[in-house]
Amino acid sequence: MSSGEPFGSSLLFYLNGKRMVIDSPDLDLTLLQYLRNIGLTGTKLGCGEGGCGACTVMVSRYDIDQDRIIHSSVNACLCPLYTVDGKHIITVEGLGSTAKPHPVQERIALLHGSQCGFCTPGFVMSLYTLLRNNPNPTELEIEECFDGNLCRCTGYRPILDAAKTFADQAWKRGAAALNGDGTARVTKSDADGAQGGCGIDGCCRLQKSKKQSLNDSLPAENAEAFTLPDPTNPHVNGVASGGCCGGNAAGGGGCCKTNGVASSCRKDSGIVAEDSNSAEAEKAQIISKFQAYDPTQDLIFPPFLVRYARGKTSGDEPQLKPLEIVNSDASAWCQRFYRPLSLEGLLSVCQKYPGCKLVAGNSEVGVEIKLKRSKFPVQVYVNDIPELRQITIEEDQVTFGANITLARFEHTLEKLMAENAKERTQSFAALRENLRYFAGNQIRNVATIAGNIATASPISDLNPVFMAAGAVVTLASSTGGRRQVPMSEFFLGYRRTAMQSGEVLLSVAVPFNSEGEVVRAFKQAKRKDDDIAIVTCGLRVRVDKDTGKVSDAAFAYGGMAPTTIMAKQAMHAAVGSTWGDRDLLSSLLSECQNEMRLDFAVPGGMAEYRSALTTSFLFKFWATSCRELGIDCAEAAFAHEMEDEERTLSKGKQEYASITDKAIVGKGVTHLSALKQVTGEARYTDDIPAIQGELYMGLVMSQRAHARIVSIDTSKALEMPGVHRVLTAKDVPGSNKWNIFHDEEILPSDEVHYLGQPLALVIADTQKIAQEAARSAVAVEYEDLPAVLGVREAVAKQSFFDEVRQLKNGDVDKALEEADFVFEGESYCGPQEHFYLETMGAISVPKGEGDEFDIYSSTQNPTETQMVCAEVLGVPASRIVCHVKRMGGGFGGKESRSVLIAAFTALASYHTNKSVRIILDRDEDMQTSGQRHPFFGKWKVGVTRQGKLLGLRANIYSNGGFSHDLSIGVLERAVSHLDNCYRIPNTEIVGRVCRTNTQSNTAFRSFGGCQGMFMLESMLCEVADKLGLSVEHLREINMYEVGDVTPFSQKLDDWNVPLMWAQIKDKAQYEQRRREVDEFNAKSRYRKRGLALVPTKFGISFGVKHLNQGMALVHIYMDGSVLVAHGGTEMGQGLHTKMAMIAAETLELPLESIFISETATNTAANTSPTAASASSDLNGFAVYNACKALADRLRPYREKMAGEPFAKIAKAAYLDRCKLTEAGHYGTPDIGFNWQKNEGLLYFYFTQGVAAAEVELDTLTGAHTTRRVDIIMDVGKSLNKAIDIGQIEGAFAQGQGWTTTEEFLYFPSNGRLFTQGPGNYKIPSAMDIPRDFRVSLLEGVPYSTLKTIFSSKGIGEPPLFLGASVFFALRDAVLAARKHSNVQGTLHLESPATAELLRLACEDELVELARIPAELKSGKTPFALRI
């Protein structure tokens, strides 16, 4: 096709099976924005940078080169709309609905894989895409398909469990099989399910007779119809009915579920025998009802698009054409767009617009536009050019077209490795190894080789390997023709290459390897999967087999300079030397370290760690290459420890007993909104359709950490088309002060206190205009003031809030004097970002009658939202109604800080009389919303030589940020949880909140409790080190006993931690595994394992007495349906489900009769925030009280009309003028604590638990794997055991992330937050969870003092601290490494224990080689710092 061929300006694509044509589309629009604009809101915006997967859709295209249809999971947030021409887009709405869900949707929903549901559509689409490409995936392929998806709620285990039901070898049910010709056939089950199995290992259904072929399938006419499991009774046709096969096992002998695998019920006690596991039985029952997956029923790829891609459409049909689209909006980021279809056409465009931006996957450009606000006026899409996608295999090399996607590149490398000898494909294997952990699937599916090379990123995963392999790139231009450049000469500086103006990257040639050549690639990141590199490298050596001498070497590193570089001195030292000679190794390490040494203040930070990684990688390469080449040296014996170990498949086991004394409460009922969430039908704040004339708000954010506001000039913004108002502090009609202490302004009047603080609001027609005006058109003049960032700095400068919280018991001075040993030390745990997948957002809608407003907010605190909005506007609270349908996660982060966002919208609606919306971008949310409080503590403890604690004096300090917010409450809980589970007879604990110039830190799941417990557990570890005792021994001998009294004067009743401690040691085989870990560590030099056993005790109640109340309003309608309103909000924790279960149980109705619409202040007034793990207690009792009154009122009608449907009974009661509405209220009895006198009841009860964690640590890199975790939790008599298991797993994952990967950093130079999104803030991924994750609930114990609803316990927060068991297991592994290196002294390890901290803590020879002398650090400011 010649460059002169006429251009088109329309996009043609299919969307969920329907043809769409868009003429002259908006060039700035992403696919996600387009989908949501047309009402397909199931696809969510989580981060905007392709890092969370919430926006995942499936994009299908016909690939001419491969002559097949390719289905790809894609991040819609990074996908420009202009790239979809000729493609078929399928969103979550295109799969199914709640009435008829797709099997993927059904399984994730019913196996508890959706909590808040905001991330769920992304997981659904990733799994669906995998199945479209391979209807019989392995379990490994299923796990890996989620490497670009994040979940903050579930802990991933239930998602993986649900997904693995599609695995060919997993559940043997509902999966498609392949016929001999490769076509799909579907295995379906007969009526009693004899084909499929129940999901229990060794299920009787799978014990086929010898005569029955494993490939036999039942006739389609015998397939059972799809019916959902009865949510009110998961045990229907279950254990009590003879098990999954009715007692008729294939080989005889009865059902596995009633014969050995799961015991029969003990109905008299209300629980089942100890060896029974109702969790697995309930799961099996659900699985047995699943509809089979039939690939033939999926939406087909439109045949027209095949002809369209081939250019073979008929004359009257649309033709595939080059595209040229000009944007008429002068303010657009992209003014002109081209889509050439040939290399000639591309070169022609590049000649005409030499500064144009080439776009393929848009993974780099999209992030630059989103986060850096970059503008690229001319953009050229290059993915439809055949010449850039060719692969040529020659005798000595393979040439890869530059625009091959990384997914296809990976597949091609695997094929080359399979078809050629191993020694020839070493470079290909190295490239493939780094590709495995390159971003997520969604990125690899669209990103290209050229994009990775041409962006010249200094931390590129592939460029060092290309360089080491001796790759050569071919460049082309319309004027200069083609030329070749070795990769070793391609990178000229930071983001600069040898490409000249008008040139494009045509291909990259990678040579086959020759005899005696070894190539390896290594990469270290904060998180193994879907993460950018800290340091990456490609290392190659060629050794003459006759002489043993090195004939060639290439050591290329990324992350050590502004561009990818070679370690030339080390390479020079290698060539001509004998590979395997110990002197050469010493020389290589020394030369490499000298070349790669970094300045302490180097951009990117981690100077010592990065330097240590260079030699660690080289050392690993030395060992593995010597083994590969058959060289006998000491290091080769440890080569097996150097390889990147294949991660085992994750697996999980959940255990709890059945409840038989209640119809509904206690059962593992699925989250009532789960099917809505998996189908995209569940609505969140930003899914609410815009009201006509609705405006959008942008935030003008402070660019100083602390400064006086000299002036705010809004004139330029007000001149911009589409801008309506710019509001500042002077525009607040009511009170400009808010929060509990009224020490924070809605909009700052004269002083800003942190970088990112909103100081003005721009109200405009669209989000784009509002944000553009806010960021570039409002001029603020500042007068800088001194700023304090970190907690240690604040303590040193005595920057405190006034309040002090302390607990004093006994005589600490005397205890310290009488102690055998007195030790002093410090502890620190860092902040944590909530990272709820749905960012803060609110919509304010004026009623049109003066001062009435509806506020739709993603908040845990509708009442405070109502009250603050009323105060800001100067109107009575009765004029404001706050509505909360659901939140996409909260975790405490939306308890108070969300109120400010809602107040902004109310203020904007007040001034414009229009509906106003704002949904924060991820970076805005992280800069403004506050995080978990960092804590710093100083302690002095007296102990006996046996390890008994005698006295403790502790001073702990939190970083509260610039205002009080909830910091005093967080401090109180930290102080009162500093004892954790241990009796310390004499204590003096003093806590202060530091005032700093960061966003006001706020509530986060565990609310100070985990910080207090971490302080003490860290202290115990150091004390154990000093005494030469195991820390588990210290924990055990100091553990509370029943009747002991805490430092806050509360007697411990119903104390079950010692029991669970003993149980978990038995269930987890702790003593045996301790011996096994010690034996492994004795034999292994560079990999160490660690084991930890950690308890927790978490008090349940609000610290403020008046918040310990709940309310409910229950309506029974004439048709028998019931509407329940209560004071709690739903954020994924299953609160509405539990409340509905309580109502159904109390009213003696089926669960489907109960409906909860939303939480709103006009139906539930004066509510407490949904927090403190008390919402089920408070609102549950309120619902019960209301329903109990109604049930009692209706009892005479039920007795009179026995056997009649409830609808008739309700109608009769109404006709008899019986009141069918009831309000319920509950206040926690006996609660109330006096901090001055240390008396009263601080907590109503304690939720307790114990965890055992085992890890494996790569001591050369600091990378780790959590091998196994066992948890036992005391949750009382659970309201919903499946939901509580989910809360335990999700909280554990958050605690694991808090203490390992989630490092929150600031730039010390200006106070700006460095970790502003998933790109550099790393929550755990599905691959980070324990490989073996076992959770059980404590069963069968009596509760003498528990006075909660149905004797249940709050569960949302208590398990979080158990995630720190991974931290303490890692500490144990580091101790083993230090012992091997003969490092003496106490190990001081702070949280989070990132790979950097773990590697440096090992303190071996390579770490010492990388250390920066103190004099070279002096006077230098680190790149980023913990606060």
Rounded Cα distance between 881 and 872, Å, is 14
Query: Helix/strand/coil (H, E, C) string of 1202-1262?
Result: CCCCHHHHHHHHHHCCCCCEEEEEEECCCCEEECCCCEEECCCEEEEEEEEEEEEEECCCC
Rg over CA atoms, the chain: 32
Rounded Cα distance between 1190 and 1192, Å, is 5
Rounded Cα distance between 438 and 308, Å, is 32
Give all strands of the β-sheet with 565-566 in edge-to-edge order. 517-525, 533-543, 550-558, 565-566
The neighbouring-strand residues paired with 666 are 1280
Strands, DSSP E only, in 666-753?
A: 695-701, 707-713, 723-727, 737-738, 744-745, 751-752
Q: How many CB atoms lie within 10 A of CB 1202?
A: 8
Where do we find the tokens 């397939």?
223
Rounded Cα distance between 38 and 36, Å, is 5
The reply to whether 1303 belongs to the active site is no
Residue 1345, both tokens: 């003092």
Closest CA to 1104 of 1233, 917, 922, 1262: 1233
> Cβ(708)–Cβ(783) under 8 Å?
yes
Residue 949, both tokens: 């604690």
Any residues with CB less than 8 A from the CB of 244 and at least 6 apart, and which? 193, 197, 198, 200, 203, 204, 205, 238, 255, 256, 257, 284, 285, 288
> Cβ(403)–Cβ(359) under 8 Å?
no
Residue 653, phi then psi, degrees to nearest 5? -140, 130
Rounded Cα distance between 1190 and 1145, Å, is 13
336-339 and 378-381 beta bridge pairing: parallel
Chain-centroid distance of CA 69 in Å reads: 32
> Cβ(936)–Cβ(790) under 8 Å?
no
Query: Helix/strand/coil (H, E, C) string of 47-115?
Result: CCCCCCCCCEEEEEEEECCCCEEEEEEEECCCCEHHHCCCCEEECHHHCCCCCCCCHHHHHHHHCCCCC
Q: How many CB atoms lie within 10 A of CB 1174?
A: 27
How are the residues of the chain apportioned to helix, strand and coil, as percentages rounded to the nearest 5?
30, 25, 45
Establish whether the linkage from the previous residue to 1392 is cis, with ω within 30° of 0.
Answer: yes
Containing 398, the helix (H) or strand (E) segment is strand 397-401
Closest CA to 350 of 319, 375, 385: 385
Residue 341, both tokens: 């279809």
Cα torsion angle, 112, 117, 123, 128, sign: positive
Helix axes 1206-1215, 1175-1200, angle to 10 degrees: 80
Residue 1294, phi then psi, degrees to nearest 5? -65, -40
Per the residue annotation, which of 93, 924, 1032, 1357 is the catalytic one? 1357
Q: Measure the CA dihedral 1081/1084/1085/1091, to 10°.
A: -30
Closest CA to 950 of 1094, 810, 806: 810
Give all strands of the β-sheet with 1154-1155 in edge-to-edge order. 1154-1155, 1122-1126, 1109-1116, 1221-1227
Rounded Cα distance between 1192 and 1383, Å, is 71
Annotated active-site positions, please?
1357
